[in-house]
Chains A and B, each alone.
Chain A
Amino acid sequence: MADEVVLLDCYYSMFGMRARVALAEKGVEYEFREENLANKSQFLLEMNPIHKKIPVLIHNGKPICESLIIVEYIDEVWKDKSPLLPSDSYQRAQARFWADVIDKKVSVAGKGIWSTKGEDQETAKKEMIDALKLLEGELGDKRYFGGDDFGFVDVALIPFYCWFHVYETFGNFSIEENCPKLIKWAKKCMEKESVSKSLADPNKVYEFIVGMRKMYYGLE
């Protein structure tokens, strides 16, 4: 019986992009369903009643929620192609740790940069730079966070690359100036079709955020 895979997602979501990249890496065919977060579908509310958020992966009718949990699930089910997590237990723990750092530090700071102003925004900017430098340190001279092969941490971080334009514009700083190696890494990831086809256009993300700022945060 062929697998039925549906992804409830939102074009601009870096969390949704993680699932898209992982599915593309594994060559899994799926149905992409765009959600309007201002008017969530009944289906989304049924599939993720606890958080009511995207992404939700629905595999043969069974929902899996939370982007990193979805990526691990994809990696376990379609394990014969492009492994994302290393096989060594210690390396796996390290990969999970850095993906968690991205969620705790990059994601939080990112939102602060475009949704606040004044001192709060400056704090968010500093936290973003610190977080990206920390990640750049972890990357070191490796081709990818996973080593020679694109892996779990790369999947977790690369979607934020299409949001860098938003952060740089509203935060008034250059990520490349602060973290040149990280930008080099991002461009290498973008050479992969699984990544370039999954990430949103930075200009579209920017326009989307301009709208969000006005509507929800009263910012110009």
Chain B
Amino acid sequence: MADELVLLDVHVSMFGMRVRIALAEKGIEYEYREENLANKSTLLLETNPVHKKIPVLIHNGKPICESLIIVEYIDEVWKDKSPLLPSDPYQRAKARFWADFVDKKVLFFFCSCFCLSVFVKKKIWRTKGEELEAAKKELIDALELLEGELGDKPYFNGDNFGFPDLAIITFYSWFHTYETCANFSIEKHCPKLIKWAKRCMERESVSKSLADPVTVYEFVLMLKKKYGH
């Protein structure tokens, strides 16, 4: 019986992009369904009643939620092609650690712009003066830490594109938005990271899954206007 796969997602979501990359890496066909987060579908509310968020992967009717959990699921089920996590338990723990780091440290800068109505905390394009500078500094510190971890390796895992690369690369599509709104250059602070990002973008699974940075920026402008900023 052929697998039935549906992905509930939003084009500009860096979390949804992670799933798209994983599915593309494995060469899996699926139905993509764009959600309108201002008017969530019944299917989304039924398949993710706890968080009511995208992405949700529905595999033969069974939902899986949370982007990194979905990616691990995909890696386990379609294990014969393009493994994303290493086989060694220590390397796996390291890969999971860096994906988790991105979600903890870099997340709220990006997520806040997406959930403007919910996250009333630090938003790089709403906050002014000192707060903006502090938020910018925290972001740069986090990116510099990532660059340190990458070192001279082609990818975070080593020679092969894998789980931490996938978890981090999707934020690249949001860099233009951050740089424009906060008036700084990420490449100036983290040239190696940008080099790594461009290397990842040469992979079709990545280039086809990431949203266009201009589209992301226009989306944020639209949100800013909608919420009166």
Contacts and interface: CB of A to CB of B under 8 A. Distances in A.
A66 B97 contact: yes
B64 A93 contact: yes
A50 B93 contact: no
Nearest to B78: A89
Q: Which of B50, B93, B101 has the most CB of A within 10 A?
A: B93
Given A50-B145, A66-B100, A93-B72, A73 B66 contact: no
Contacts of A73: 89-90, 92-93
Contact of A50 (B66, B72, B92, B101): B101
A58 to B, nearest CB: 11
B50 A134 contact: yes
A90 B93 CA distance: 20
A101 interface: yes
Give chain A's interface residue range (CB within 8 Å of chain B): 20 to 34
Nearest to A131: B50
A66 B50 CA distance: 23
A96 B72 contact: yes
B73 A89 contact: yes
Give chain B's interface residue range (CB within 8 Å of chain A): 20 to 34
Contact of A92 (B73, B90, B100): B73
A97 interface: yes
A4 interface: no
Given A69-B100, A101-B50, A93 B89 contact: no
B62 A69 contact: no
B169 interface: no
A100 B69 contact: yes
B69 A64 contact: no
A97 to B, nearest CB: 6
B2 interface: no
A188 interface: no
B96 A72 contact: yes
A134 B101 CA distance: 27
Interface string B125-154: 000000000000000000001000000000
Chain A facing B: main interface SS: helix
B187 interface: no
Contacts of B89: 73, 76-77
Contacts of A76: 89, 92
B139 to A, nearest CB: 15
Contacts of B76: 89, 92
B138 to A, nearest CB: 14
Interface string A56-75: 00010010111001101100
Contacts of A96: 66, 69, 72
Interface in B78-112: 89-90, 92-93, 96-97, 100-101
Contact of B90 (A62, A90, A101): A62
Interface of A: 50, 59, 62, 64-66, 69-70, 72-73, 76-77, 89-90, 92-93, 96-97, 100-101, 134
Interface of B: 50, 59, 62, 64-66, 69-70, 72-73, 76-77, 89-90, 92-93, 96-97, 100-101, 145
13 contacts: A59-B90, A62-B90, A64-B97, A66-B96, A66-B100, A69-B93, A69-B100, A72-B93, A76-B89, A89-B76, A92-B72, A93-B69, A96-B69
Given A66-B100, A76-B89, 18 more contacts: A64-B90, A64-B93, A64-B97, A66-B96, A69-B93, A69-B97, A70-B93, A73-B89, A73-B90, A90-B59, A90-B62, A90-B64, A92-B72, A92-B73, A93-B64, A93-B72, A96-B72, A100-B69
The 6 closest A-B pairs by CB, nearest first: A76-B89, A89-B76, A93-B73, A73-B93, A64-B93, A93-B64
